[in-house]
A and B are shown apart, each in its own frame.
Chain A
């Protein structure tokens, strides 16, 4: 048994209707000018079907940190270009979050760098696509330190932090290209070893 439990978002329907009307007007104008330019041309029907709304994400393909020097912090390193799309007719605002595992090499002392040593600098100016509608996405706090209960080093994810949120009326694509990470490297970190982590981006809406 299904029931409607959330208020229907009506804000975008007039917008869609207006868009449709505008498109029709444009087609009429284009068709008229073609007729004027070449009287022998026949009219052309242009039709298209809009796809379903979607919640999608494009995350950077990889991240290479600078050298990890025990007892010091790395320079803030760019996390790459993150973009996401929310064209769902959702009654709930969307959120983009980041979580990470430890930088892990091996079990034991100095074998991993806990995620609590990671500081994320959040791009404070999400770029909005020119075709977006509604309010722009709002960036999360400028500097955030990852936290959480690290039950299995190297496997457990930190608690998610908020990179950006968008309101229920926000529809479109956004991009954050200046998110950065700095890692505090414990002094007892095993030298000359490759440490690897998993960084996780989530779009929720």
Chain B
């Protein structure tokens, strides 16, 4: 029985391995099966599908103004009127909400208008659409007029907003809805002193990257013009030599006045050891022209190889490993059926049997214990005190 048990224990690791392999196979199979529907559900690109709806400025192509968006030069308190054309390309009527909104820098560097329900602080607060709610029949267009009224006190520079046309374009069986928006940028320039300027936050390492070194920094637009930028992170060794020059991403996005954008760079691979420093340099541009170069603080980087183990710790670890090895060896020998021995009680009058330097607990005659001969191999005197059953 014991032998069978021992055999059973001996094969358990193999069974575990088999089960592990089997589990991996099943998991892989499930993963593959699960992945197939997702892949199959990916629609193929369809660039010929007609667009749902679109917008363009009313006077596009009829003025010397740039055609793509609304550009106004206005002074404090002044009012201007313009219009936006909204076209419904779909085969069914669509309900539109047309409104003015502040322009925001989106996560990742794009531009997007604020939500209709947001509190507007910039151009979005000055735009009033004459007919904000309108239903446009299929394949039809309407012109929506709007007025921009600047407050009496306003700072010089660029004030950005957008004319937004939004429509619900789909609903799922679960009730989820899809809203689509088209937004024409509205750029209102107020004459006066312009001050394109920006500020860099502290350069930091991106947490959670184990194989590469990631850097992160925030660029803020502290001036009154729309900014773009070009930037990089330079990594220097101890001698001041540049060992890597890493482009900051997203590349050349827009940063609206008062807005900010998070920039990232990755240094591929992790140095095994050494001391380095990193510094970000960002050139900001207004209307496509460089206006300033910003530099971050120097970020120290230290990469150390695994520290050597102190001698005392090494000795202790070695002793522990040796002891663990002995214990394992002893247990293995004890589990072998041929190593089972019976110890007969040599004396009923004492709790302990003592001979030479060997101590054994007292036992009844029928008591059977497992002993390892190796434990007593160094004690010849003790061996004579043990009777093999």
Contacts and interface: CB of A to CB of B under 8 A. Distances in A.
Contacts of A96: 110
10 contacts: A5-B71, A5-B187, A53-B61, A59-B178, A83-B46, A95-B254, A159-B104, A160-B107, A199-B178, A204-B162
Interface in A48-73: 52-65
B111 A204 contact: yes
A177 B113 contact: no
Interface stretch (B51-59, B238-246, B273-281, B362-370): B51-59
A95 B106 contact: yes
Interface string A184-205: 0000000000111111111111
A61 B175 contact: no
Interface residues of B, number: 77
B216 interface: no
Interface string A156-182: 010111111100000001110110100
A204 B104 CA distance: 11
Contact of B178 (A60, A91, A138): A60
Contacts of B113: 202, 204
A160 B46 contact: no
Given A58-B49, A162-B110, A200-B179, A157 B185 contact: no
Contacts of B50: 58
B123 to A, nearest CB: 13
A7 interface: yes
B107 A161 contact: yes
A19 interface: no
Interface in B277-320: 287-288
Interface of A: 1-9, 52-65, 75-78, 80-81, 83-85, 88-93, 95-97, 99, 103, 127-129, 138, 140-141, 144, 147, 155, 157, 159-165, 173-175, 177-178, 180, 194-205
A164 B112 CA distance: 12
A127 B34 contact: no
B224 to A, nearest CB: 13
Interface stretch (B16-24, B164-172, B348-356): B164-172
B61 to A, nearest CB: 6
Nearest to B63: A2
Contacts of B173: 62, 64
Contact of A6 (B44, B66, B176, B182): B66
A83 B53 CA distance: 11
Interface string B178-193: 1111111101010000
Contacts of A9: 66, 68
A2 B104 contact: no
Contacts of B87: 54, 56
A53 B45 contact: no
A24 B300 CA distance: 63
Given A1-B74, A62-B171, A165 B47 contact: no
B65 interface: yes
A44 B388 CA distance: 120
A62 B170 CA distance: 5
B178 A89 contact: no
B108 A162 contact: yes
Interface in B102-156: 103-104, 106-113, 115, 117
B169 A59 contact: yes
Contacts of A194: 174-175
B155 to A, nearest CB: 16
A57 B170 contact: no
B52 A56 contact: yes
B112 A202 contact: yes
A91 B68 contact: yes
Find the residue from B52, B108, B173 having the highest chain A CB count within 10 A: B108
A175 B55 contact: no
B170 A61 contact: yes
Given A3-B189, A160-B106, A165 B43 contact: no
B264 to A, nearest CB: 8
Contacts of B51: 54, 56-58, 83-85, 173
A201 to B, nearest CB: 5
B89 interface: yes
Contacts of B104: 159-160
B330 interface: no
A15 to B, nearest CB: 15
B109 A76 contact: no
B187 A52 contact: no
Contacts of A4: 64-66, 71, 73
Given A64-B176, A81-B45, 7 more contacts: A53-B60, A65-B174, A77-B38, A78-B43, A85-B54, A159-B104, A175-B46
Nearest to A88: B68
B60 A52 contact: yes
Contact of A162 (B46, B47, B109, B189): B109
A201 B180 CA distance: 5
B45 A88 contact: no
B93 interface: no
Enumerate the 7 nearest inter-chain pairs by beta-carbon distance, A residue then B residue, closest first.
Answer: A90-B68, A56-B54, A3-B73, A95-B110, A162-B108, A88-B68, A61-B170
A197 B177 CA distance: 6
Contact of B68 (A53, A59, A99): A53
A205 B69 contact: yes
